[in-house]
A and B are shown apart, each in its own frame.
Chain A
Amino acid sequence: EPEVTQTPSHQVTQMGQEVILRCVPISNHLYFYWYRQILGQKVEFLVSFYNNEISEKSEIFDDQFSVERPDGSNFTLKIRSTKLEDSAMYFCASSPNGTPKLFFGSGTQLSVL
């Protein structure tokens, strides 16, 4: 069964450093998303991406965040200058069209020290 894959599974970084989280969505999907889950808190929407542009973003997704689809398969989330409060599990998701059916990856656990 096709799945969303995320790398790395764990990322440790120093505060102020840039990180790039990588995702390979399911191949025929058109809509891509990033969500995050701080330990013990609910899953939070960050951004959605369709047709090579951001379609919606939350107030969390400030100028420190950016997304890119550099080729036909990868979807990346960049955090320019990480803060301690960016520590969280980051989930990539994709859907074949605009329906509510999202397929989530296993996540990247980001720890900012």
Chain B
Amino acid sequence: TQLLEQSPQFLSIQEGENLTVYCNSSSVFSSLQWYRQEPGEGPVLLVTVVTGGEVKKLKRLTFQFGDARKDSSLHITAAQTGDTGLYLCAGRLRSNDYKLSFGAGTTVTVRA
């Protein structure tokens, strides 16, 4: 059973378009994170959200944590080819957990 479900699995868009990827669960998380992973590299942390309803912006990226702390979304405005990559969400069920549970990821391809 997947603790964190990410959708869509694959997303291909034209440069300049907007996109949203989703991370959903039936469990409540203490915190959720979004990572980006390039082929042959480790995940790189983009953002951590901890408060229900929280919205964080990182340049053209907007991250939202659901009010119930069960889901999150990543929105990219005016996508660029450099945004191409695997986007992973990961969560901690309890604040004193050491373990991060990862979703399977969304592979984003931005075409020139």
The interface of chain A, by Cβ under 8 A from chain B, is 4, 31, 33, 35, 41-45, 48, 50, 55-56, 58, 91, 93, 98-107
Contact = CB atoms under 8 A, between A and B. Distances in A.
A104 B105 CA distance: 16
Interface string B27-63: 0000101000000111111001000000000000000
Given A43-B88, A100-B31, A100-B92, A106 B42 contact: yes
B101 A104 contact: no
B96 interface: yes
B101 A45 contact: yes
Nearest to B31: A100
Looking at chain B's contact residues, the main secondary structure is: loop
Interface in B65-112: 88, 90, 92, 96-105
A75 to B, nearest CB: 14
Given A43-B90, A105-B42, 9 more contacts: A35-B100, A48-B99, A56-B99, A93-B42, A100-B48, A100-B92, A100-B100, A103-B45, A104-B42
